[in-house]
Amino acid sequence: MKIDILTLFPGMFAPVMEESILGRAKENKILDIRLTDIRDYSQDKHKKADDYPFGGGAGMVMMADPVFRALEAVQAEGKRILYMSPRGKTLNQELISDLAEEKEMVILCGHYEGIDERIIEYWNMEEVSVGDYILTGGELPAMILIDAVARMVPEVLGSSKAHHEESIYSGLLEYPQYTKPREYRGIEVPEVLVSGHHKMIHLWQFEKSLELTKERRPDLLTEYIKNTEFLTKDEKKILDKIMRSEDRND
């Protein structure tokens, strides 16, 4: 997958894109992430890329010309172009899975009070938000999007099944995890996890996922129980127990 990132602050990306899973994916040429400094395409002698908004208002707005030129330089026409914006569609797993199918995409990081609307309209940009809050720019949201999408790209995690076992992908929040030592400061790892009984371990993990999802994200649990045909008989018993417990609490 090739990802072009257009930003006023390319230096922000190196600590994230060069390390850990993303760094290895780049090194192994699974991901081709390219940074473009929008200021390089400003025709102003001071590399100015923003100006005061027409009609007044606080802050500055990114100018159309430098962004247009940067988009043309990366040959963005015909590609999926995302603009990280608090007014955009909220990033969720459905959108992440959809983006993971793309071979190429372009991400524009806004800054200041936003960008000239003509950029969005002319380039048919898809506005994407990472939540109902305001950040200083689109760089951090872009990193979140890339990290989430990259995990869905085959070979990035080294296992085609790895991401499906994690929180959200399965439809439930992830169960508690433990590692060595078996006992730490008087706190023991649950006995079932060291029993070697794989079926019992799986059922324990499933039950804990249900409990956590019910407690913290009941909206996910509501969606999950709409399709339970794939569950085993033992899993259905556990789900029934969790739902009965919910009824009693009501």
Find out whether 88 is annotated in a ligand binding site: no
SS3 content of the chain, % helix, strand, coil (to 5): 40, 20, 40
Residues with Cβ within 8 Å of 96's Cβ and at least 6 positions away in sequence, in order, are 145, 148, 149, 152
User: Tokens representing 58?
Assistant: 């606080």
Say whether 137 sits in a helix, a strand or coil: strand
Residues with Cβ within 8 Å of 240's Cβ and at least 6 positions away in sequence, in order, are none
Helices (H) and strands (E) in the chain, counts: 9, 9
Find out whether 130 is annotated in a ligand binding site: yes
Dihedral pair phi/psi, residue 58, rounded to 5°: -75, 150
Find out whether 38 is annotated in a ligand binding site: no
Find out whether 186 is annotated in a ligand binding site: no
Work out whether strand 183-184 and strand 187-188 pair parallel, antiparallel, or are unpaired: antiparallel
Neighbours of 130 (CB within 10 A): 20
Find out whether 219 is annotated in a ligand binding site: no
Distance CA 128, CA 122 (A): 17
Dihedral pair phi/psi, residue 130, rounded to 5°: -100, 5
Distance CA 105, CA 103 (A): 7
Find out whether 65 is annotated in a ligand binding site: no
DSSP structure class, residue 217: -
Find out whether 135 is annotated in a ligand binding site: yes
Residues within the annotated binding site? 110, 130-135
Residues within the annotated binding site for S-adenosyl-L-methionine? 110, 130-135
